[in-house]
Structure 1
Amino acid sequence: MKKRVLITGAAGFLGSHLCDKFISEGYKVVGMDNLITGDLKNIDHLFKLEDFEFYNHDVTTFVHVAGKIDYILHFASPASPIDYLKIPIQTLKVSSLGTHNLLGLAKEKKARILIASTSEVYGDPLVHPQSEEYYGNVSTIGPRGVYDEAKRFQESITMAYHRFHGLETRIARIFNTYGPRMRLNDGRVIPAFIGQALRGEDLTVFGDGMQTRSFCYVDDQVEGLYSLLLSDYSLPVNIGNPDEITILDFAKEIIKLTGTNQKIVFKPLPQDDPLQREPDITKAREILGWEPKVGREEGMKKTYEYFKGLTEEELFKSEHKDFSKHIRH
């Protein structure tokens, strides 16, 4: 019999690519998403498949899925600054109450669960590059704390279930990931720069542009997550690309890639914005036998081709949805 996997956040950027991966590997996939930030167009091609089913559900409420489940991947969470600053309560709840619900479901089903943590648990790091042993530099009450601390709690409760209940758990600390199906105006640097270039706008760089990021192409990220799920390692593992670049240099790369002649304009750096971000992937290499294969030049070409295929309406529409009906205080 085919194994069955539940993927939360299935209509999101990473979640939808994970659905594709598990379908291609011969699994039955149950996708779950409340569509606050996800989009059904990301998984529209899967609805015709016998091995795919979808639940429109909020995991912060009780989660029930009938039948056997072998694996759970918890990827339901706002993941961009625009989202988690606009819906802070929901962001906190999905990684706390939502994670609690899914850990309970994993315990009931005797399933292995992988939770999507983030490099944001390191905050604005005082150690570079960031290894899994670094405890982080995070402001609990800053505007980014709703995301950072939610993910830190998520890791804690996951390890509590692992140690107290003997639950099979995996924790992925995901670094900046990019590729097709990213939302154009979600506040993250790659879609923001590409969107500005395609609209003929100047590229906005915050601070002096000397802050760094390390970008991992989505295909590499998915392979790393898949390898981690099937491994025997229960402690956190960094999954990302250690090829570090300054934001200013990256903006120049975007201008070259798009063939545009936009200027670069500078704005004040947002509060608690990390100044350095580079994963130490020693554990991923040694434990999973994984490392990224897609270089930034190749990955950005694929990503740019995806965004060039958007309609004019998609290119110019505002990303500022009315979230009010979704928020439960």
Structure 2
Amino acid sequence: MLAADHEAVGCVTAGTLDIMWSEPEPLIIAGGTVRCPAGSILWVVDYKSGDDSHTPPVEYNAQAKTNALMAAKYTGAEQVVPAILYIRKGRGEWDTAAEALGEVELAQHEEMLRSWIAQGREARANPHLLVLREGPHCGFCSARAHCPAHAQVLIGLSRALEELAGPDVAVSSDPAAVPFEPARVWVARRLRLLEDLVKKARAALIDQVDANGSIDVGDGLAWGPHPVKRTTILAKDAVLVLSDELGPHADIAIDVTPRITRETIREGVRAKLAADGAKRQTEATIRRIMAKLGEAGALVTEERMHYGLYRPGSKTSTEEE
């Protein structure tokens, strides 16, 4: 129903409910009407079958509260418990409001709904008031690829990344419509959206590559699957080598986990060289230590396929952990 139609039929909004019941007394159904008995609490449940990470908790879920309001007006219930049931194996997963919504809470939500409808009506009458905003709803929008709001997010991110390293300068994805906010706040609010975009872009590229082969991106590079050798340093076998090579600075190379990586070894080497007054020997020392770790059986190398940029014809890439 359109906002204008709501007033014509005397209702706030229109919709459907998945399931409702009342406790302790059951709903009274007679003559085409459904009434909640006085003193009973009405339960209104919305079924969800997808990823719960996209759904706000029931206490903040506008859809769940609107369902509760509609059901209360339909049945005359004085108290309503909104709930969300995620369809899973067994009994599913329930997200239930801690307390029932009473007359005050329902009236507050109705006031908010009427405000939203009024804003929508005004924006419809004045198109210049319409502002495209990115948010969790973008994940379900078929027009996302052509949405100017997404282009503004990427532009705003470029500015924000530059400014995060400096003073807390304000950033806006749309200076004409959105209030400026600190760069760190701007990024924090949109990070999940950006991560989701990157995740979906990577998945789409992998599907393309699996179907059609690696993608030539120019400059002698390609994007697709290529073998990567990953070397893990075994802490229990590496401790003696590091203690012998770095002396009292070995503790820096041995993380508290203990977890030894090339980077922790680098830190230990730098500390030892600084103490010895030596310079420009970091990489050579690391290579010597890695060779000794290999001789001691402290290195385990495995090869795996990785999707990303690579140079065709070059040797296998390496990673160290």
Give the alignment's TM-score, normalised by structure 2: 0.23
Larger Rg: 2
Q: Which has the higher contact order (CA 8 A, sep 6+)?
A: 1
Return the structure number with greater strand share.
Answer: 2
